[in-house]
């Protein structure tokens, strides 16, 4: 079947491009001698995790315990849950998960360490943790330096805990221009190295520095001291990555196929994909959504079931009711979370479908 014969809206993945993206990052990590632990929050699909592992990844990262459970059930045996796990219900699930996989957990407090430590003591198998560090995103973690070293020392003293290293996510890189990424990463990694040194002075030797985001991946993989990288978005890319210079339209591998359902005026069009398919997660920069191959089309706004845009009549291209378009998402991760499955295409032909088995696993 031809891709454009699919019913819409549909999430479509170009397998050739996915494979190129997977191999490019894997090759880069291999050349740098850095372990790759891709964040699977982007695809939430065991088949893609399997491809990442086959390409050389040492393990995977997830954001949620539910995502870890899906991946472990599919046979993944080395998982970082990059999220503080709190409460008896989660600790019970973690205990079960640890029966089939090695699980590392990140945290940024002694409170979380104490809960995990009880599990480590009870099972006589310490819980391995990364201490999360704030290198500029101001989400989780304390800043680099003594503030983190002091926390690491206290976490390491909790019975049942083994601190492996420091972890950060340079999400603040999303807010800078491509020219500033190099300096941002230098600052990030230098701060982590210095913090590791301070931890050693306090008697806690750390073997790991785990970093990871797609826009920073190239610079991070080349930075001294980094042992592990966790890029996620690189598998599919999106218009944010294009804007940041980390992707081009040709390396975008996931699209929402949509149908033009209305042409209310000469210059306006409406597609059958709104926020239910494309999510509300975007800013208002020009080009926040793109139609592949059509730079004469620009989106104005999304309602739940309507995507409304303008066509530049000066460009002389047509767009009729019933035409189908491939929309490149602004932020692909939440878009994937909105679909039950992805349709796989190669050179415009439908090759199959993968269930997005870990979608909606919010707990
Ligand atoms: C902790 C953590 N690590 C890695 C990533 C991957 O970053 P990116 O989506 O830029 O590839 C994320 C993304 O949100 C994250 O939160």
Q: For residue range 314-356, what is the model confidence (pLDDT) as tens digits?
A: 998 999 999 999 999 999 999 999 999 999 999 999 999 999 9
> Which of 169, 175, 247, 331 most suits a substitution to test ligand 1, by most atoms within 8 Å of the C-beta?
169
Low-confidence ranges of the chain (pLDDT < 70): none
- Rounded to 5 degrees, φ, ψ at 292 are -55, 130
Q: Which atom of ligand 1 is nearest to the CA of 42?
A: 9
Mutate to test the pocket of ligand 1, among 230, 240, 335, 336 (most ligand atoms within 8 A of CB): 230
CA of 322 to the centre of ligand 1 (A): 37
The CA distance from 84 to 308, in Å, is 39
Q: Is 207 left (phi over 0), alpha (psi -120 to 50) or beta?
A: alpha
Q: Tell the residue nearest (CA) to atom 16 of ligand 1.
A: 169
- Three-point CA angle 343, 240, 177, nearest 5°: 155
Task: In whole angstroms, give the CA distance from residue 252 to residue 288.
Answer: 14
Instruction: Output the pLDDT for position 286.
Output: 76
Among 251, 272, 250, 265, smallest CA distance to 322 is for: 272
Which tokens sit at 131? Answer: 């201490």
Q: How far is CA 112 from CA 93, 101, 115, 129, 147, in A?
A: 15, 21, 5, 10, 17
Residue nearest to atom 8 of ligand 1 (CA): 213
Q: At what angle do helices 181-201 and 146-156 cross, to 10 degrees?
A: 50
Cα 285 to Cα 102, 288, 302: the distances in Å are: 42, 6, 14
Nearest atom in ligand 1 to the alpha carbon of residue 174 is 10
Q: In angstroms, what is the span from residue 212 Cα to ligand 1's centroid?
A: 6
Cα 318 to middle of ligand 1, angstroms: 39
Å from CA of 25 to ligand 1 middle: 15
> Measured in angstroms, how far is the CA atom of residue 349 from the centroid of ligand 1?
31
Residue nearest to atom 5 of ligand 1 (CA): 213
- Whether 16-233 and 3-9+247-355 are alike in CATH topology: the answer is no
Please state which of the four CATH numbers 3.40.50.150, 3.90.1150.10, 2.40.37.10, 2.40.37.20 is assigned to the domain occupying 3-9+247-355.
2.40.37.20
User: Could you tell me the distance, in angstroms and rounded to a whole number, from the CA of residue 39 to the centre of ligand 1?
Assistant: 6
User: Bridge partners of 14?
Assistant: 345
Neighbours of 288 (CB within 10 A): 20
| Model confidence pLDDT, tens digit, residues 172-221 | 999 998 899 999 999 999 999 999 999 999 999 999 999 999 999 999 99
Helix, strand, coil percentages for the chain (3-state, nearest 5)? 35, 25, 40
212: left (phi over 0), alpha (psi -120 to 50) or beta: left
Which residues have CB under 6 Å of ligand 1?
39, 61, 82, 169, 212-214, 230-233
Q: What is the pLDDT of residue 292?
A: 97
Pocket test for ligand 1, best of 22, 105, 171 (most atoms within 8 A of CB): 171
- Best probe residue, ligand 1, of 38, 82, 232 (max atoms within 8 Å of C-beta): 232
Calculate how far, in angstroms, residue 138's C-alpha sits from the geometric centre of ligand 1: 14
How far apart (Å, rounded) are the C-alpha atoms in residues 196 and 185? 16
Q: Buried (b) or exposed (e) across 178-193, using 16+ Cβ within 10 A?
A: eeebeebbeebbebbb
H-run or E-run covering 300: strand 297-302
- CB-CB contact of 62 with 82 (8 Å): yes
Q: Which atom of ligand 1 is nearest to the CA of 232?
A: 11
Alpha helices in 165-318 (DSSP H): 181-201, 217-221, 239-243, 275-278
Atom of ligand 1 nearest to the CA of 216: 10
All residues at 6 or more sequence positions from 192 whose CB lies less than 8 Å from its CB, including other chains: 133, 135, 144, 166, 168, 209, 211, 225
**Domain 16-233 CATH (choose: 3.40.50.300, 3.30.540.10, 3.20.20.10, 3.50.30.10):** 3.20.20.10
Asked if residues 156 and 205 have their Cβ atoms less than 8 Å apart, the reply is no
Q: What are phi and psi of 100, to 5 degrees?
A: -120, -10
pLDDT at site 284: 73
Domain coordinates in residue numbering, the chain:
3-9+247-355, 16-233
Q: Residue 169 C-alpha to ligand 1 middle, in angstroms?
A: 6
């Amino acid at each position: 079947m031809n891709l454009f014969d699919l019913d819409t809206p549909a999430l479509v993945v170009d397998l050739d491009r996915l494979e190129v993206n997977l191999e490019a990052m894997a090759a880069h990590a291999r050349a740098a001698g850095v372990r790759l632990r891709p964040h699977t929050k982007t695809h939430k699909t065991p088949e893609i995790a399997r491809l990442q592992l086959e390409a050389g990844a040492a393990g995977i990262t997830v954001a949620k315990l539910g995502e870890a459970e899906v991946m472990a059930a599919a046979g993944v045996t080395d998982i970082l849950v990059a999220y503080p796990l709190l409460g008896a219900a989660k600790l019970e699930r973690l205990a079960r998960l640890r029966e089939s996989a090695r699980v590392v957990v990140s945290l940024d407090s002694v409170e979380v360490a104490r809960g995990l430590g009880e599990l480590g003591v009870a099972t006589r198998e310490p819980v391995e943790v990364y201490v999360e560090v704030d290198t500029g995103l101001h989400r989780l973690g304390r800043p680099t330096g003594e503030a983190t070293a002091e926390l690491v020392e206290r976490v390491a003293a909790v019975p049942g805990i083994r601190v492996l290293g420091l972890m950060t996510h340079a999400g603040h890189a999303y807010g800078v221009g491509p020219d500033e990424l190099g300096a941002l990463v230098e600052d990030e990694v230098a701060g982590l190295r210095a913090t590791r040194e301070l931890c050693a002075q306090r008697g806690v030797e750390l073997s790991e520095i785990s970093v990871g985001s797609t826009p920073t991946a190239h610079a991070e993989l080349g930075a001294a001291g980094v042992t592990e990288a966790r890029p996620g978005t690189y598998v599919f890319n999106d218009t944010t990555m294009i804007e940041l210079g980390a992707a081009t339209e040709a390396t975008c591998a996931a699209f929402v196929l949509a149908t033009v359902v209305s042409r209310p005026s000469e210059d306006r069009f409406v597609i059958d994909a709104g926020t239910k398919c494309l999510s509300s997660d975007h800013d208002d920069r020009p080009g926040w959504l793109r139609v592949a191959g059509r730079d004469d089309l620009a989106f104005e706004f999304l309602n739940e079931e309507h995507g409304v845009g303008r066509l530049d009549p000066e460009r002389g291209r047509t767009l009729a009711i019933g035409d189908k378009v491939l929309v490149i998402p602004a932020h692909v991760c939440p878009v994937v979370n909105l679909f039950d499955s992805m349709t796989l295409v190669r050179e415009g032909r439908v090759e199959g479908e993968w269930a997005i088995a870990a979608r909606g696993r919010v707990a």
